[in-house]
């Protein structure tokens, strides 16, 4: 492992993901609680495991939704799924289900981080948007060595404005080739992790 790869692995290990189901925006921009989507948990856990992220928090205040998320995870960790496909369990081991983002922040702090910074994501530009290269520099900054970063992804029509306003950073939107910016949260999470922690951009195979 070269030193760039080492740095990148070290940075990934200081970052956790949160998939937020409340507060998020509904179709008309109203603040709502969304339902758990089975494949969100699978896809994002698999991407988190691939890129060496520390933890993946599923955030929902709804008791039945917390129970559903717990059931999905344990099916693949200990149930029939663990026999059918053990790789899924390894990814879903990263998941913890919490009622709100504050519980995730507390858990990160309890694991020895001096402070925790929340990084909101959005499909539209924000006056405080931080580009991917700039955010990598923040992660690499020796002054941030003790900081745990929590990258928050919104379900439904995205994180509620009040959540974004309260965040420490807002990561820039992902742009492709045009104005169509309707990636799924699963795709967006995968692309973000690849931009931040992917190998040397395919320079070598």
Binding site residues, a second copy, CB under 8 A: 5, 8-9, 12, 27, 39, 42-43, 46-47, 49-52, 84-85, 87-88, 90-91, 125, 129-135, 172, 174-178, 180-184, 186-191, 193-195, 197-199, 201-205
Q: Is 96 helix (H, G, I), strand (E, B) or coil?
A: strand
Residue 62 phi, psi (nearest 5): -85, 125
Q: How far is the CB of 133 from a second copy (least distance, A)?
A: 5
Closest separation between CB of residue 182 and a second copy, Å? 5
Tokens of 70: 């717990």
In the complex, least distance from residue 178 CB atom to a second copy, rounded to whole angstroms: 6
| CA 57/CA 194 separation, integer angstroms | 19
Which residue's CB is nearer to a second copy, number 79 or number 157?
157
- Residue closer to a second copy by CB (options 105, 167) is 167
Q: Which is nearer to a second copy, 101 or 193 (CB)?
A: 193
As a whole number of angstroms, the distance between CA 55 and CA 96 comes to: 8
In the complex with a second copy, which residue's Cβ is closer, 68 or 105?
Answer: 68
Q: What is the 3-state secondary structure (H, E, C) of 152-166?
A: EEECCCCECHHHHHH
Nearest CA to 115 out of 106, 103, 124 is that of 106
Please report how close the Cβ of residue 100 comes to a second copy at its closest, in angstroms. 27
What torsion do the CA atoms of 146, 104, 30, 39 make, to the nearest 10 degrees?
A: 110
Closest CB to a second copy among residues 100, 194: 194
- Least distance from a second copy to the Cβ atom of residue 113, Å: 19
């Amino acid at each position: 492992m070269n030193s760039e790869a080492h740095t990148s692995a070290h940075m990934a290990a200081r970052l956790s993901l949160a998939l937020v189901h409340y507060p998020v925006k509904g179709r008309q921009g109203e603040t709502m609680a969304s339902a758990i989507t089975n494949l969100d948990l699978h896809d994002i856990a698999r991407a988190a495991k691939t890129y060496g992220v520390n933890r993946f928090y599923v955030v929902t205040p709804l008791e039945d939704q917390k129970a559903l998320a717990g059931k999905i995870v344990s099916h693949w960790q200990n149930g029939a799924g663990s026999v059918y496909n053990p790789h899924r369990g390894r990814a879903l081991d990263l998941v913890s289900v919490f009622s709100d983002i504050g519980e995730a922040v507390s858990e990160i702090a309890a694991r020895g981080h001096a402070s925790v910074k929340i990084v909101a994501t959005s499909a539209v530009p924000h006056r405080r948007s931080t580009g991917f290269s700039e955010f990598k520099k923040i992660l690499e900054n020796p002054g941030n060595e003790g900081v745990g970063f929590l990258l928050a992804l919104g379900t439904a029509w995205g994180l509620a404005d009040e959540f974004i306003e309260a965040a420490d950073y807002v990561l820039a939107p992902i742009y492709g080739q045009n104005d169509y910016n309707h990636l799924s949260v699963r795709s967006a999470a995968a692309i973000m992790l690849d931009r931040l922690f992917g190998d040397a951009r395919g320079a070598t195979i």
